[in-house]
Amino acid sequence: MTAAALVERARVLLELRRHADAERELRGALALDPQHARAHALLAIALAEQRMLPEAVDEAREAVRLAPDHWFSHYAAGRVYHRAHRPGDALAAARAALALVPEHAPSWELLARVHIQAGQWPQAADAARRGLAVDPERATLAGLLALALTALGDAAQARAAAARAVRLDPESALAHLAYGRAALAFGDPGEAARAFREVLRLDPGIDQARDLLVAALKQRNPLYRGLRRLRGRFFGGWWMALLLPAVPPLVAVLVLIALLHWAAWVAEAFATLRLARARSTRLLLDGVEARVAGLCCGLLSAGTALLVPSVVFEQEAIGTAGMAALALITPVQEAAHTGSARARAVLYGWAGLLGLAVVLAAVLPSVTVAVLSAYAGLATIWVAAGVRRLARIRPSARGSGDAERAG
């Protein structure tokens, strides 16, 4: 069999997602013709799909070296660099491919994916639109456009693009993912939950869809949804602390913001525990989420249990220790919802120190220690923000990686 025939067989196998079989055929083709640029390009894609990224990058470079004036070499290199999380190289490769063949819709799709990976939403939307101008029937481009418009806050166009993606390809996981993200972002958690269930039916390996389904199920509760929206809207900047000497009443504003966040975290715990106990949804949650929710509900019960006898028997120290125990919910939830393992460990250590202080306040008993612990616990929203900023990460959230997995 000729090298060209083996390359064509490998191309078909790649379309069928039989990447290891495609790799075998391509290595056979290269044994016959080591200078076959298309074979190197397709082998790079096959290796990248199998997470063999260093070797895939080498093959992509070889394909570009052998055929620098052919669009497919640059397109394959862009796909490999995108999978290897090298957005700069991927962007250059995608643009090189489009400079050679601007009417190639998959290259516009690649460019949109690269911009999404980098969080460049306006550029992603522009690339997706230009790709749709070339191929209006390409569902993945409509889905990527919907994801970009959702991030940009354009509700009407995002939902229209997502609906178009689903209409063009009802079996596309990306289309349903985009539809669900738009519905979740713009106030329709029930519709979002249905979309994410469809994503998991089409591709159970998309972990982000499982997380988003949990978020949608939680947001169907109007109280949870309202508190979460308020928590995101009212945070209070560090600059408010600079104004405290001049405007002491700002202390009350900061306390109200902290209490609002605390109430939202309590709602988070109840919503998570409800899903963890329901037979139809408990498999959606991992053990850590359920344990954190149970711990927070336990802290709520313990704090309340300390408050009741303090009122009956007028034990001020025990009462303030109860309030400090209630305040521990904030640091525990802030730690659990931090994406970086290092930052999460720091915040869990902070929560542990506050817990020890609460125990000491109850045993001594000490009103001062309890009050300081309660304030420190509530103020953890700002402590956590500082830790995340130092670690250069954000609270755990999913988004840009979904397009790659679902595509």
Q: Where are the alpha helices (H) located in 118-221, listed in sequence order?
A: 121-134, 139-152, 155-168, 173-185, 189-202, 207-219
**How far apart are the C-alpha atoms of 57 and 102, rounded to whole Å?**
24
pLDDT band, very low/low/confident/very high, at 103 (cuts 50, 70, 90): very high
Which one of 65-74, 310-319, 382-391 scores highest in mean pLDDT?
A: 65-74
- Long-range CB pairs of 187-195 (<8 Å, 24+ gap) are 189/215, 189/216, 189/217, 189/218, 189/219, 189/220, 189/225, 190/216, 190/220, 192/216, 192/219, 193/217, 193/220
Q: Where are the alpha helices (H) located in 278-399, listed in sequence order?
A: 287-313, 316-327, 329-336, 341-363, 367-378, 380-391
pLDDT, one tens digit per residue, over 368-402 is: 999 999 999 999 998 898 888 887 644 443 344 44
Q: Which pLDDT does position 403 carry in this prediction?
A: 53
Instruction: Please provide residue 395's backbone torsions phi and psi, each rounded to the nearest 5 degrees.
Output: -55, 145
Q: What's the whole-number mean pLDDT along residues 209-213?
A: 91
**How far apart are the C-alpha atoms of 87 and 113, rounded to whole Å?**
10
Name residue, tokens 């709602």: 267
Stretch among 93-102, 189-198, 235-244 having the lowest mean pLDDT: 235-244
Stretch among 121-135, 209-223, 230-244, 267-281 having the lowest mean pLDDT: 230-244
pLDDT band, very low/low/confident/very high, at 318 (cuts 50, 70, 90): confident
Query: Average pLDDT of the chain?
Result: 89
Is the alpha carbon torsion for 89, 93, 99, 102 positive or negative? negative
CA distances from residue 73 to 68, 93, 208, 303, 317 in whole angstroms, order as listed: 7, 9, 31, 64, 72
Rounded-to-10 torsion of CA 302, 305, 307, 308: 170
CB atoms within 10 A of CB 70: 18
Q: Is a pLDDT exceeding 60 seen at residue 234?
A: yes
**How far apart are the C-alpha atoms of 149 and 158, rounded to whole Å?**
5
- pLDDT higher for 321 or 244? 321
What is the three-class DSSP state of 237?
coil
Q: Is a pLDDT exceeding 80 seen at residue 11?
A: yes
> Which amino acid type is present at position 388?
R
pLDDT band, very low/low/confident/very high, at 291 (cuts 50, 70, 90): very high
